[in-house]
Amino acid sequence: MKIGVFGGTFDPVHIGHIHAVAEAKIALNLDKVIIIPARQSPLKSSSPTKDKHRLNMLHHAVEGYGFIEIDTFELEQEGVSYTYGTALYLARKYPEDELYFLMGMDQYRSFDKWHKNDELLELMNFAVMARAAEDVRVKQPFIHIQQPVVEVSSTIIRERIANGNIVRHQLNSAVYKYIKEQGLYEA
Ligand code: ATP
């Protein structure tokens, strides 16, 4: 099987994430994509929203997408989540399969700061997607997935909610409803 792996904080998961996963499935002919929410990203300074909420939102967002799974491996570990540890876990769990780690251009740009990044390149394939119209080139051995860009970020959504602006169009409707019910990201 060809398996995509998509890590992040998903705080909250938005239409850009699901769009990226679906386009990667098409471009790479993936059989499934595993979304792995991080407890705390090594390169992000602020603490994310409670794991429970981020996970509930992810479950709402992938409802009906039969090829997407959510794996809580990183949420069950102590401390920050390094992709290297997750890659070892996945390589053991799927020894016969081809793994493709999917990432947006922002993550690709910080890849030289990632823990054990050379070793990581031995464990998985890496595929990069643009997040803005001007993003284009990636170096070998990375794969560039060309997909229509959806310029949405969790940061913008959090700021907009705090400022009372519209976010409904950037979120799955069940995720939007959950955020409203729980009062997440309000100022
Ligand atoms: P934040 O604004 O909080 O940093 P984010 O929107 O970048 O969040 P993450 O949860 O950090 O979301 O991202 C998880 C993965 O999804 C990363 O690989 C990121 O590059 C990618 N990604 C996020 N938004 C998009 C998008 N609009 N298009 C393509 N990839 C995206």
DSSP state of 7: E
Has residue 9 been placed in a domain? yes
pLDDT digits (tens, 9 = 90+) for 137-182: 899 999 999 999 999 999 999 999 999 999 999 999 999 999 999 9
Q: Is the pLDDT of residue 100 over 70?
A: yes
Q: Is residue 90 assigned to a domain?
A: yes
Residue 179 lies in a domain: no
178 found inside a domain: no
**Has the ipTM of the complex gone over 0.95?**
yes
- pLDDT, residue 48, reads 85
Q: Would you say residue 68 lies in a domain?
A: yes
Residue 145 pairs in a beta bridge with 129
Distance CA 114, CA 109 (A): 10
**DSSP element (H, E) containing 69:** strand 68-70
- In the prediction, which pLDDT does 135 show? 67
12 in a structural domain: yes
For residue 95, the enclosing domain spans 2-151
pLDDT exceeds 80 at position 136: no
The overall pTM is greater than 0.90: yes
Phi, psi for 7 (deg, rounded to 5):
-105, 160
Cβ–ligand 1 distance for 25 under 6 Å, the answer no
Three-state DSSP class for residue 122: helix
24 touches 33 (CB < 8 A): yes
Torsion of CA 115, 15, 132, 184, to 10 degrees: -70
Q: Is residue 82 part of a domain?
A: yes
Q: At 76, is the secondary structure helix, strand, or coil?
A: helix
Please state the rounded mean pLDDT for residues 130-136.
81
Does the residue 119 lie in any domain? yes
Task: Give the number of domains in the chain.
Answer: 1
CATH of residue 20's domain is: 3.40.50.620
Q: Which of 182, 154, 125, 168 is nearest to 9 (CA)?
A: 154
Cβ of 36 closer than 6 Å to ligand 1, yes or no, is: no
pLDDT score recorded for residue 69: 98
Task: Assign 74 to helix, strand or coil.
Answer: helix
**pLDDT tens across 6-20, in order?**
999 999 999 999 999
Site to substitute for ligand 1 among 13, 154, 155, 184, most atoms within 8 A of C-beta:
154
Residue 47 has pLDDT above 90, yes or no: no
Query: In whole angstroms, what is the distance from residue 82 CA to residue 86 CA?
Result: 7
- Is residue 68 lining ligand 1, measured as CB closer than 6 Å? no
Mention every residue, 6+ apart, whose C-beta is less than 8 A from residue 24.
4, 6, 30, 33, 100, 102, 127, 129, 145, 147
Q: Write the residue with the smallest CA distance to atom 8 of ligand 1.
A: 154
152 closest CA partner among 137, 174, 167 = 167
